[in-house]
Structure 1
Amino acid sequence: MTESTAHVIVGGGLAGAKAAETLRTEGYQGPLVLIGEETERPYERPPLSKGYLQGKEDREKIYVHPEEWYREHDVELRLGTAVTAIDPAAHRLTLSDGNSLDYAKLLLTTGASPRRLPVPGADLTGVHYLRTVQQSDQLRELFGSAQRLVVVGAGWIGLEVTAAARAAGVAVTVLEVLELPLLRVLGREVAQVFADLHRAHDVDLRFGVKVEAIEGDNGTVTGVRLADGTVIPADAVLIGIGAAPNTQLAEAAGLEVSDGILTNESLRSSNADIFAAGDVARAQHPLFGQAIRVEHWANALNQPQTAAKAMLGQEVAFDRVPYFYTDQYELGMEYLGYVEPDGYDKVVFRGDVKSLEFVAFWLKDGRVLAGMNVNIWDVTDPIRELIVSKRAVDPARLADTNVPLGEV
């Protein structure tokens, strides 16, 4: 093996940028290389389906750091470059330009990619996915010309794009194979809130349907055909059926992979010198006693800080409670916790659901697993305490707005 002192980060998004930042702030002064497949410097993805997509945020605000930050902190940015292979024994990367790069420690922040819809017509002009800023730009332009958008998939991306499209005056039909939006994430009780919200904004929601094909004329989308033969006219189609972690490099290198790169609590993979963070990492979580993978902004923001410290030999563990947020129409919400599908036995509502000012709690055996505050702010700390403490609570007191959350 060729000895190298370089720490290398593969993945040029938020997670990679925050890892580079942490390595420098923690005192690492050696060579530091950040490799990204996109030609854009690292940026945050939530605005792509929220404020930036709606034209409320300038492009410059999506970037993690100013352009000069990388030069000032001696971070070598290699953009528009892919890593094609990892040789753990030699501590060497093979790059798409034919060069190789040796590393001492390696961090994989390769993220996730949108799942493709495997039906005829999915490659027609007018079929869109949303992961990159260029794709968000395409949707912004589309909102100025399209009259009818069909969204396949009622997950977070699908619903946020739907809200943005409706704000721009575009008619939207949402197609979902399950009975409600976000059903696997929120469960039936809270998923109904989002169904009611979008119907109130004149979205045509169609549940329990299957897309058979995307139809077109002269290579351009004209509609979506369902399994029952129904054809829904469309000027454009957005596919939002989830994302798959980009584990191909790790798997080919012999790392342990299972719906993500498996890591311990400090984000170290099955190879002592290779770490993973962000969407691609399935990390052992000390609070939940199992390995979990979370595809949300807060994970990409915070996990790399733990991974970078571990790369420097510090004894650390990533134990933050998972967090995410969304903004759709007049609904703003924050969610804390982790609940597997059907992993709860009770939902407790606190506040007024109809007026969209409430907190929902998911409980199992009387203990709070997660909480979601809707248009009620500054309550994440007591919600977090309820989750972390794992203490049994009285559902009646939890629902009583006269009882402060800190006293439940």
Structure 2
Amino acid sequence: MNARVVVVGAGLGGAKTVEALRDGGYDGRLVLLGTETERPYERPPLSKGYLGGSEERDAAFVHPADWYARHDVDLRPGTTVTGIDLRARDVLDASGTRTGFDHLVLATGSEPRRLDVPGADLDGVRYLRTLDDSDRLRASLTPGRHVVVIGGGWIGLEVAAAARTAGCEVTVLVRDPLPLLRVLGPELATMFSDLHRGHGVDLRTRTDVTELVPAGDGTHVGAVALADGTLVEADLVVVGIGAAPRTALAEAAGLHVEDGVVVDRHLRSSHPHVLAVGDIARAEHPLLGTHVRVEHWANALNQPATAAATVLGRDEPYDRLPYFFTDQYDLGMEYVGHVDHGYDEVVVRGDLEARELVAFWLRGGRVLAGMNVNVWDVVDDVQALIRSRAVVSRDRLADPDVPLASLVTAG
């Protein structure tokens, strides 16, 4: 029998894994198992272009519908894997079918954290993770509706922007003093709070939700109750309070799991024939010198090439820097790098008030991460600067007339 690779999780990471294997010359059997009935799609459009109405639904799909058959990939949508038997080297799905593997790639992604307050199960309370979720939410964003977004992370703010653009009245509730505070720090998080307030969002910080209150019919949400006694009117509540990696299968199989499936720089787990990619992979990073798990599109897009290389016996460690992007109103942003144990300062090159800038997070004079806002074609230079580990001149870093590329060599 030919060798067989089984991929569990038919999202972007799973689809790109089978693509990379075929592109890399793998001629064995490929099985791609996914719980959803849709063929693999990308998730960024769900809270960005598709939700906001600027992209068509079909643009979200990774491959055309006939791609899988043409590349001899056994795509099985609507298949829920219930167990992994590492000794027998097979996976069991909910139908009772066992599928053997020579290599197994886990690409099970993450799932939204659920709001745990009374009333959280009322009609009109939404989460955004799947294409169906985005379809339903998009249809609900009609002018004049009162939309309350709980959570001030990327998903919450992107939903808020889409809702305001659609003409909804929007309230965003954030527990921290600023949205995105833990990601960007106070220096840049303020920019996003100003952005949303400037577009008419009622952004409330330092808030705690205690209950979702039903409307008069008793089944649909009508308001959000806060710890200070305030009631916020709501026709629709969108919960965006983070995500958790889907590691239950890996844990039950006895793999090393610690805030994700722990993998080496080649994306191998604690079992040499099991790999992980995307949201669930807590991967050893050669440059950063630590294990990192990143819940963003770029890992699901790029890690599969390393996983395929590993299956094919090639030494190609994954060393890309973490990357993510957002689009909110007229603001477009890209962020690259990793700030783990804090930073000394933030240096801004450009106009913060006009939201046209590149910001850099530094520790010990070295750039850890950079974020370009409405300034384009600089990501490669920012990455090179981070990788160089050069101690840079603060004044030269802040000066738009100094080419970023010159700082890599000059320090």
Same-fold call, TM cutoff 0.5? yes
- Aligned-partner Cα distance in 2 for 1:402–1:65: 42
Give the fraction of aligned pairs with identical amino acids, expressed as a percent. 58
State the shift of 1:32 in Å: 0.4
State the shift of 1:92 in Å: 1.2
Q: Check the 8 A contact 1:83/1:93 in 2, yes or no.
A: yes
Is 2:350 the counterpart of 1:351? yes
- Aligned-partner Cα distance in 2 for 1:363–1:269: 32
**TM-score normalised by L of structure 2:** 0.97
Question: Of the candidates 105, 123, 126, which is equivalent to residue 124 of structure 2?
Answer: 126
After TM superposition, list the pairs within 5 Å mapping 1:330-349 onto structure 2.
Answer: 330-340=330-340, 343-349=342-348
* 17-26 or 4-13, larger mean C-alpha shift: 4-13
Task: Please name the residue that 1:374 is paired with.
Answer: 373
Amino acid at match of 1:375: N
State the secondary structure of the residue aligned to 2:52.
coil
Task: Please name the residue that 1:173 is paired with.
Answer: 171
Amino acid at match of 2:260: G
State the shift of 1:343 in Å: 1.0
Task: Please name the residue that 1:402 is paired with.
Answer: 401
Q: Check the 8 A contact 1:115/1:242 in 2, yes or no.
A: yes
State the shift of 1:55 in Å: 1.4
5+ long unaligned stretches in structure 2: none
Q: Check the 8 A contact 1:146/1:235 in 2, yes or no.
A: no
Aligned residues: 405
5+ long unaligned stretches in structure 1: none
State the secondary structure of the residue aligned to 1:122.
coil
State the shift of 1:332 in Å: 0.4
State the shift of 1:4 in Å: 7.0
Q: Check the 8 A contact 1:4/1:104 in 2, yes or no.
A: no
State the secondary structure of the residue aligned to 1:228.
coil
- Aligned-partner Cα distance in 2 for 1:196–1:146: 22
Deviations 1:150-205 (A, max 9, x none): 00000000000000000001011111111101011111101011011011001111
- Aligned-partner Cα distance in 2 for 1:73–1:321: 30
Task: Please name the residue that 2:160 is paired with.
Answer: 162
- Aligned-partner Cα distance in 1 for 2:2–2:286: 33
Deviations 1:21-75 (A, max 9, x none): 0110111111100000000000000000011001111111110000110000000
State the shift of 1:5 in Å: 2.1
Deviations 1:248-307 (A, max 9, x none): 000000000011000000000000000000001000000100000001111110001101
Q: Check the 8 A contact 1:175/1:209 in 2, yes or no.
A: yes
- Aligned-partner Cα distance in 2 for 1:258–1:183: 24
User: Relative to structure 1, is the Cα distance of residues 41 and 146 closer, same or farther in structure 2, using a 3 angstrom cutoff?
Assistant: farther
Q: Please give the root-mean-square deviation of Cα atoms over the aligned residues, in Å.
A: 1.0
Question: Of the candidates 172, 185, 198, which is equivalent to residue 187 of structure 1?
Answer: 185
State the shift of 1:146 in Å: 5.7
Task: Please name the residue that 1:272 is paired with.
Answer: 272
Task: Please name the residue that 1:282 is paired with.
Answer: 282
Q: Check the 8 A contact 2:179/2:192 in 1, yes or no.
A: yes
Task: Please name the residue that 2:102 is paired with.
Answer: 104
- Aligned-partner Cα distance in 1 for 2:168–2:144: 7
**TM-score normalised by L of structure 1:** 0.98
- Aligned-partner Cα distance in 1 for 2:111–2:144: 26
State the secondary structure of the residue aligned to 2:228.
coil
